[in-house]
Amino acid sequence: MTDTSALQDRFRMSLPETRTTLGRVDAWWRAATHLAHRLPGGSRPAVAAATLTYAHLNRMIVRRDERIRFILGVTEAAPALAAVAQMEGTTTPGRLCKAAADSCGHNFTLAHAIGAVLGEPGLTVAAMVGEDEAVSAWPIRALHDPTRDGAVLPILYRPTMDRDELRRVFRPRGWEPIEIGEVGCISHGAHSAELHRCFAAALYVALDEIAALTAAAAAGDAQPQAHWPMLVLRLPASWPPAAESDEVAANWFDADGRPIPEIAQAAPSGDLRMSAEW
């Protein structure tokens, strides 16, 4: 089990070693983002961030047979869920907590995520939230028992707090931030190819740490004061460049609007799909 205070450093050290081909993930992300941008509503950067997150979670499911589900609590990214459901051939586009500004109160997204993992060992629920998710919601990790429950992986989208403030706010509540983007990546994460590599490395570190903490708890070495990983997605205001997210090859979709097999294989199938009923 890693000293969680070193998770950000471990993430940086893993960047040069992340040499796996991410071309298929990039194509899946571009295709999903293209579909989402054709739907009404939403913010271009938020939608692209949600589809990016979804694409990389899918990659981990495919590569490691991880049981992962996704909850979106960023209202302006809502079109992303319909797009990823279309990409995966389902009719149930995951779960959106804040479908409208007045439909859910603060705290709902993380509360929903922690409720989903109770009594579900081996399940990880990734919850993408904005800074408007009330800070008072974050101590809900205290309800989590790693000996019998799954894990929540919060993904904080575009916080205004700097790195030191993030640590001051979230570490006392049991979370260890791993920053992706302007602070956490080489070249400030402004280019999507670089950002893919950063996201892949961060997810490896986070999921490995979750596995280590869970295994320690199962072995009778649970640490109530342990800090569980959270991702911080800190992206430039100009991301993604229009040419990047909208550049979709005409032959990436078949005549029925479904992604061709080479693209679809970047996502899991059957019940492992995050957009499947759960």
pLDDT at residue 97, rounded to an integer:
47
| 266 in a structural domain | no
| 200 in a structural domain | yes
Domain tally, the chain: 1
Grouping H, G, I as helix, E, B as strand and the rest as coil, residue 129 is strand
Q: 176: domain range?
A: 4-247
| 179 in a structural domain | yes
pLDDT at residue 225, rounded to an integer:
76
| 58 in a structural domain | yes
| 35 in a structural domain | yes
- Tell me the C-alpha to C-alpha distance, in Å, between residue 171 and each of 132, 137, 177, 226: 18, 14, 8, 10
- Kindly report whether the peptide bond that precedes residue 146 is cis, defined as omega within 30 degrees of 0: no
Q: Does the pLDDT at position 110 exceed 90?
A: no
35-58 pLDDT, tens digit each: 898 899 889 999 999 999 999 999
| 188 in a structural domain | yes
| 274 in a structural domain | no
pLDDT band for 138, please (50, 70, 90 cuts).
confident
Q: Does the pLDDT at position 17 exceed 60?
A: no
The CATH number for 95's domain is: 3.40.50.970
Q: How many CB atoms are located within 10 Å of the residue 251 CB?
A: 9
Q: Does the pLDDT at position 242 exceed 60?
A: yes
Distance of CA 16 to the CA centre of its chain: 21
pLDDT band for 100, please (50, 70, 90 cuts).
very low
| 255 in a structural domain | no
Dihedral sign, CA of 142, 101, 98, 161? negative
- Residue whose tokens read 């570490």: 171
Terminal alpha carbon distance of the chain: 30
